[in-house]
Amino acid sequence: MNSFHFSVDDVLPALIEVTDKNIPLVQNQFFSQLRYIFEKYGVKTGLNLFYSHKINGEIRFLSEVRDLKDEIKDGWLYFAPHALDFDTAPYSQNINSQIKMVDDIMGQINRIAGIYKASSVRFHYYSECYEIAENILNHGINEIFVTDSSVGSHRLSQDDSAKILEKGSINYNGLKVTRTNFRVENFANDRINNDDLKQILTKTLSQYSRIVIYSHEYEHVRDDVNEMLINSMDILINKLGLKCEIP
């Protein structure tokens, strides 16, 4: 069966908020949207996490986030590393720093989420951390999502980039390296109607048999992005008959 993957990048502020306020995940505006698409469509969301982030003028850390295992035990959220912080792209770090970033975030994910770890990841700024493939694989991550732009890949060879554009994925250093297809917020920015959205998704599906779609946490303060998220999930599942992957 054809499938799709959905994940959200730049995640941490919402986790800090529910911890600070001591409220259930579903009482947070961002998480309430993700819970809605899980209950209505069965969508499981991957969350790509910062280790730290500046929130209301203060640097906050993933280590401050409370244990969430009981709230996610029906498998609606899965967690993966994204970056040290917003300003530090993994591609700008040396190999040892990349490994430490992944290890530190995964250590917190083990504490916060237990078994609910994603096997696919999109690193910040589409960083292609294939030099640390062994470390990534040891953490149970077997797939990296790369850019949605027409270059295919920012750092791989022209041949490999061309194969990614043609086939959607290649295997490299033991990792599956996969093209990202769409951003929910771009659909909202372009005010895509449902008929055109179905046509766009259908065309991509005919080429790749799999769709990779994502958004950013900070975009979900926008009503039009949340509406587009629901429309996209409805089309993917009810119109195109796709199955949502476990992230």
pLDDT digits (tens, 9 = 90+) for 126-179: 999 999 999 999 999 999 999 999 999 999 999 999 999 999 999 999 999 999
> Any idea which residue has 């911890």 for tokens?
19
pLDDT at residue 71 is higher than 80:
yes
pTM of the full structure: 0.97
pLDDT at 108: 98
pLDDT at 119: 98
pLDDT at residue 1 is higher than 90:
no
Q: What is the CB-side half-sphere exposure of residue 85 using CA atoms within 13 A? A: 9
pLDDT at 116: 98
pLDDT at 228: 98
pLDDT at 15: 98
pLDDT at 167: 96
Q: What is the residue-averaged pLDDT of the chain? A: 97
The two tokens of residue 87 are 């300003």
The two tokens of residue 119 are 């096997």
pLDDT, average across residues 186-204: 98
pLDDT, average across residues 72-86: 98
> Which percentage of the chain shows pLDDT scores above 90?
100
Segment 12-62, tens digit of pLDDT: 999 999 999 999 999 999 999 999 999 999 999 999 999 999 999 999 999
- Domain spans of the chain? 3-244
pLDDT at 189: 98
How many whole angstroms separate alpha carbon 161 and alpha carbon 241? 29
Fold of 3-244: 7-stranded beta/alpha barrel (3.20.110)
The two tokens of residue 94 are 């040396």
pLDDT, average across residues 238-246: 97
CA dist list (Å): 167 to 141, 184, 206, 217: 21, 22, 11, 29
CA dist list (Å): 179 to 5, 122, 154, 228: 11, 10, 11, 21
- What does the DSSP assignment read for 165-176? HHHSEEEETTEE
Contact by Cβ (8 Å): 198, 187: no
